[in-house]
Amino acid sequence: MAPRFLHFIILLLFFICSSATLGNNHEDPTTKTMEDFSGYPIHESHSCISNTLSALSVDAQTLQNQIDELSSLSDTPAPSVTRILYTEKDVLARRFIKNLMRLSGLSVREDAVGNIFGRWEGHEPELAAVATGSHIDAIPFSGKYDGVVGVLGAIEAINVLKRSGFKPKRAIEVILFTSEEPTRFGIGCLGSRLLAGGEALAKALKTTVDGQNISFFYAARSAGYAKDQDDLSNVFLKKGTYSAFVELHIEQGPILEEEGISIGIVTAIAAPASIKVEFEGNGGHAGAVLMPNRNDAGLAAAELALAVERHVLESGSIDSVGTVGILELHPGAINSIPSKSHLEIDTRDIDEGRRNIIIEKIRQSASTIAKNRGVRLSEFKIINQDPPALSEKSIIEAMKASSADLNLTHKLMISRAYHDSLFMARVSPMGMIFIPCYKGYSHKPEEFSSIDDISNGVKVLALTLAKLSIQ
Ligand SMILES: [Zn+2]
């Protein structure tokens, strides 16, 4: 056994045993939980340690096998993974996860859109539960760790705690969120948005179709969900359902690996706003129309793309980013002045007010550019404008303490990608644990995290859940 891990066990037990000694009254339910966990009266702390030492460990080999097996449920060949919402492979993957949840002794339930919950009942089931989880859908030709580590790792974290003999006071739930990726219906974090009470989304889904014109509800029913009705309001979580939500995820960036740090503790999640812009001009022959007589929709788009960069840089914060990821010209011929242009702009920040100022500046630039170039701004549409989320201080402290107890290096950081946690933060105090991934690669087959790094993440998650579940 590695000394570092031994240290973790001793500290976990110290934490639990010392927490237990806080309550002098044997009737105190917290003390009772601690005694149940240790299997001994709380004053016999030595027995408590020696009897639990051998039981507390991550089953790394099994976890790696599960990650590999799940990756084989893919519509594209290995090493790539493609798993799209409500397809046959997605349904098989869900079955795989539900089986693992049941094997871990969790009671499984599913809601109308296929969010899956595995519950480990606590000592005091009437208290708000502590939750953890992530997603298992994968965009076309992506990797096998994004999301998956936070679902399989969460089930293993429960196993770690169960093997140790720990019994939570609050229930602990593992959640598999439906469709974190927007691949099929163009809506990212579909499941967690609905859990957070997305009434507008529930309404919009009634008329939502995929690229093949298959309706959301037809697809959901073919996967065994949304059977009885089109009303999704029963998916919304009641506020106070969870006392805490913690997501384990690969970093999807290079910082932890570059700095040789084991654990990233997320303090805030940047939220994207997406904007669609269209300019229309008169077009014309590339040779015949002289320069002073042109109103070139393509140049308006080019100018706006540069304005986006300028406005983002003007914010003065490294946390403000903006990207023109789509820029299309019509008719798209070398000898034709573009008569139409279409841009899609993504801008993000952890400060909502600062991001909204950037959006407003982009709007002003779009109309000024249109005016100056004699083109029409035929569309300026904000597709989504989600607020960023801050992690809860008490959860940050629990994650920091857990990393320190485990003798693992950690770093406070911002999540620049968004996750289901962004939406869970609307209905629960939230925190996120990052682990290193190879060169920061994600959403491609080269995506990789070592099983040692994953195991460290699982240990920090397990200890954090243990701490939160006895609060
Ligand atoms: Zn993810």
Predicted pLDDT of residue 12:
53
**Using an 8 Å Cβ cutoff, are 454 and 149 in contact?**
yes
Question: If you average pLDDT over every residue of the chain, what do you get?
Answer: 89
Domain count, the chain: 3
Could you say which of 365, 385, 405 is where a domain stops?
385
| Distance between Cα 135 and ligand 1 center (Å) | 6
> Do 120 and 202 reside in the same domain of the chain?
yes
* 128 shares its domain with 185: yes
Structure confidence at residue 10 as a pLDDT band (50, 70, 90): very low
391 φ, ψ (degrees, to nearest 5): -70, 150
- How confident is residue 383, by pLDDT bands cut at 50, 70 and 90? confident
Query: Residues 186-220: pLDDT tens digits?
Result: 889 999 999 999 899 999 999 999 999 999 999 99
Q: Does residue 292 have a cis peptide bond before it, meaning omega lies within 30 degrees of 0?
A: no
Ligand 1 mean position to 437 CA, how many Å?
A: 13
Domain of 428, in residue numbers: 57-270+388-469
The CA 419 to ligand 1 mean position distance, Å, reads 6
Together in a domain, 285 and 395: no
**Local structure of 263: helix, strand or coil:** strand
| 322 shares its domain with 378 | yes
Pair 298, 212 in one domain: no
- Of 17, 37, 52, the residue at which a domain comes to its end is 52
Cα of 143 from ligand 1 centre, angstroms: 11
Do 285 and 341 lie in one domain? The reply is: yes
Kindly state whether residues 157 and 224 are assigned to the same domain: yes
**184 and 312 fall within a common domain:** no
Q: Which of 352, 385, 418 is the last residue of a domain?
A: 385
| Same domain assignment for residues 299 and 415 | no
**Based on the domain organization, do 179 and 206 belong to the same domain?**
yes
Determine the distance separating the centroid of ligand 1 and the alpha carbon of 418, expressed in angstroms. 8
Residues 340, 402, single domain; the answer is: no
pLDDT in the model for residue 31: 38
Side chain identity, residue 267: T
Number of H helices, E strands in the chain: 15, 15
Which pTM does this prediction carry? 0.81
**Span from the CA of 214 to the centroid of ligand 1 (angstroms):** 25
CATH of residue 329: 3.30.70.360
